[in-house]
């Protein structure tokens, strides 16, 4: 009751001009009284700026750079990146939206308090970079171009898919309506600002969803060079995409160079060690995640447990619904659920084979539609040759790889790992390893069924060649160890990383030797993969 009363009062006060400003000054608050917090960067900012003063580099040709983000944890991380470029003598604008989450509406009173607090935190940094709030208190409602409307609708659909973990979006759902309103308000603020203050470069985290997705697409539409970035499972590494969505993990340029360079012995050992850890549910080196919940039991036992016989075994590995790696990744199916449904329907008649559907263990942490429900809605009672492994089942997926005749995947990395084991894999979604020479990549349903039928009719003929397996291993090394670039601070454990590698190190001669190239890629320096790989080899040879 007390909480509802406070929310009601805050909502009323939010409609009255200057109430948040007066309240903030009256209370002399160091934080806004919500879960929105910038305390980590606030505590370190004085020393950050002192380090910048010590190491700041004059720049004869400074670039106009806009670093934009939303959400308080991204604000701390992206502001640190913005300050790095200020230290390099560039004209930097740090743009932000003072939100604490993307899925709940926030009243204007709290938003304004959060905005005032953000400005207060960064007021001492205003000497080094422009601080711009894009808080849409009074957005313009003049007509906007049709292209911008399409951008807003696309990102809002992705937001709903990502948040609700669904593939079919109900446009009457409150979450979709809220995201549409918030994205449109921001777009109406950003569009005139970019038109009047066109930067030379934009830097945006993620670039697929939420206001970051709006900013990325608008930059592309306005032909402003833009870089998106994200962090994967490895510490001290960053994914960087120039004029692309980083979550699409496009490795085309890198692979064009790397595919003809054989994996060396030490590189092969590194990949084997990493995948051994994945298979046995261990954590390896700078990776932060376990990929399996339990260790392997072996091929004989897994066959006994699932009652598998000598008929060909088809291993279908699903993704987590709504994962950002599945958004907009359809090729010939309408979505992942349709791919699963039509594949199961196909196998109802293929009693000469066995289908094992492994629903992603990550679904244990989600609340959206489960692929278990998709299968059970289609077939409440499964025939004896179709097996469904639920997210909570302790089955180790790599035991299934060992017994599989063929693999079916949407975008999961499990497809790459199956190919590394010589298993033919049919890829149904748009994933980064599709079309690399070691998978089957149908672009319509007819080809999909044709390829699947051909493999089942003559399994031995479809086993990958030695060259294809080597290619898969080369690609695995490329994706996990070449594609992520060195970077001092990971979003997860950001401040543990920063305390180990502060500006005093990163801006030093030693720190620049380690990280400067990655920062340069963030402002559009061409990623010359031939040169990058050559330099990496030289460093390895020296070691």
Percent of the chain at pLDDT > 70 equals 87
Tell which CATH classification among 2.60.120.580, 3.40.50.720, 3.40.640.10, 3.40.50.2000 matches the domain 263-482.
3.40.50.2000
What pLDDT score was predicted for residue 325?
Answer: 73
What pLDDT score was predicted for residue 291?
Answer: 42
Q: How confident is the model at residue 7 (pLDDT cuts 50, 70, 90)?
A: low
Cα(209)–Cα(161) distance, rounded to whole angstroms? Answer: 10
Q: Decide if pLDDT at 13 tops 80.
A: no
3-state secondary structure of 124: helix
**Phi and psi for 234 in degrees, rounded to 5?**
-100, 135
Q: How many helices (H) and strands (E) does the chain have?
A: 22, 12
Strand order in 226-230's β-sheet?
130-133, 91-97, 64-70, 201-205, 226-230, 237-242, 485-486
Cα(72)–Cα(395) distance, rounded to whole angstroms? Answer: 38
427-470 confidence digits (pLDDT tens): 999 999 999 999 999 999 999 999 999 999 999 999 999 999 99
What pLDDT score was predicted for residue 187?
Answer: 95
Q: HEC states along 314-325?
A: EEEECCCCCCCC
Rounded (10°) angle between helices 174-196 and 210-221: 40
282-316 confidence digits (pLDDT tens): 443 443 443 444 556 678 899 999 999 999 999 99
Q: 279 or 205: whose pLDDT is higher?
A: 205
* Residues paired with residue 409 on neighbouring β-strands, in sequence order: 317, 427
pTM of the full structure: 0.88
Rounded (10°) angle between helices 72-87 and 108-122: 30
Supply the mean pLDDT for the chain.
89
Percent of the chain at pLDDT > 90 equals 71
The pLDDT of 529-533, averaged and rounded, is 93
What pLDDT score was predicted for residue 288?
Answer: 40
What pLDDT score was predicted for residue 361?
Answer: 80
What pLDDT score was predicted for residue 277?
Answer: 75
363-391 confidence digits (pLDDT tens): 766 666 788 888 999 999 999 999 999 88
190-244 confidence digits (pLDDT tens): 999 999 999 999 999 999 999 999 999 999 999 999 999 999 888 999 999 999 9
356 conformational bin, left if phi > 0, alpha if psi -120 to 50, beta if neither? beta
Range of weakest confidence among 262-271, 309-318, 521-530: 262-271
What pLDDT score was predicted for residue 281?
Answer: 53
What pLDDT score was predicted for residue 22?
Answer: 47
Among 259-263, 291-295, 489-493, the range with the most confident prediction by mean pLDDT is 489-493
The pLDDT of 471-495, averaged and rounded, is 95
The domain segmentation of the chain, as residue ranges, is 2-253, 263-482, 484-542
List the structure tokens of 253.
Answer: 């340029």
């Amino acid at each position: 009751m007390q909480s509802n009363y406070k929310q009601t009062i805050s909502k009323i006060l939010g409609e009255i001009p200057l109430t948040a400003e007066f309240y903030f000054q009256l209370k002399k608050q160091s934080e806004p009284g919500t879960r929105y917090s910038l305390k980590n960067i606030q505590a370190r900012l004085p020393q950050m700026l002192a380090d910048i003063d010590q190491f700041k580099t004059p720049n004869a040709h400074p670039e106009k750079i806009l670093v934009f983000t939303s959400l308080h944890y991204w604000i701390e991380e992206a502001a640190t990146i913005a300050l790095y470029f200020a230290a390099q003598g560039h004209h930097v604008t740090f743009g932000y939206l003072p939100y604490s989450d993307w899925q709940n509406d926030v009243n204007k009173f709290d938003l304004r308090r959060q905005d005032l607090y953000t400005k207060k935190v960064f007021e001492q940094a205003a000497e080094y970079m422009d601080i711009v709030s894009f808080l849409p208190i009074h957005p313009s409602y003049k007509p906007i171009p049709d292209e911008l409307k399409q951008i807003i609708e696309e990102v809002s659909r992705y937001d709903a898919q990502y948040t609700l973990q669904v593939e079919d979006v109900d446009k009457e759902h409150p979450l979709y309506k809220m995201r549409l309103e918030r994205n449109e308000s921001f777009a109406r603020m950003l569009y005139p600002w970019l038109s009047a203050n066109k930067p030379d470069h934009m830097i945006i985290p993620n670039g697929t969803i939420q206001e970051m997705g709006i900013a990325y697409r608008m930059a592309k539409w306005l032909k402003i060079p833009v870089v998106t970035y994200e962090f994967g499972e490895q510490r001290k590494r960053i994914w960087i995409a120039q004029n692309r969505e980083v979550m699409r993990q496009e490795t085309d340029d890198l692979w064009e160079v790397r595919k003809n360079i054989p994996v060396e012995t030490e590189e092969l050992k590194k990949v084997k060690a990493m995948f051994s850890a994945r298979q046995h549910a261990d954590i390896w080196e700078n990776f932060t995640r376990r990929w399996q919940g339990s260790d392997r039991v072996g091929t004989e036992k897994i066959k006994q447990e699932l009652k598998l016989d000598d008929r060909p075994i088809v291993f279908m590995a699903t993704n987590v619904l709504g994962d950002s790696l599945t958004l907009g990744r359809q090729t010939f199916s309408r979505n992942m659920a349709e791919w699963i449904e039509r594949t199961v329907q196909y196998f109802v008649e293929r009693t000469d084979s066995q289908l094992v559907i492994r629903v992603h263990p990550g679904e244990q942490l989600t609340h959206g539609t489960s692929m278990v429900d998709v299968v059970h809605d289609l077939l409440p009672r499964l025939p004896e040759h179709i097996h469904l492994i639920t997210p909570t089942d302790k089955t180790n997926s790599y035991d299934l790889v060992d017994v599989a005749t063929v693999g079916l995947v949407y975008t999961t990395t499990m497809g790459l790992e199956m190919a590394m084991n010589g298993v033919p894999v049919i890829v149904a979604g748009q994933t980064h390893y599709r079309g690399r020479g070691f998978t089957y990549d149908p672009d319509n349903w007819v080809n999909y069924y044709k390829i699947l039928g051909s493999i089942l009719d003559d399994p031995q003929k479809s086993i990958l060649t030695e060259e294809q397996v080597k290619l898969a291993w080369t690609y695995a090394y490329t994706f996990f160890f070449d594609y992520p670039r060195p970077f001092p601070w990971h979003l997860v454990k950001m401040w543990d990383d920063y305390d180990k590698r502060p500006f005093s190190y990163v801006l030093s001669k030693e720190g620049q030797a380690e990280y400067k190239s990655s920062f340069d890629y963030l402002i559009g320096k061409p990623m010359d993969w031939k040169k990058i790989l050559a330099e990496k080899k030289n460093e390895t040879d020296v070691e």
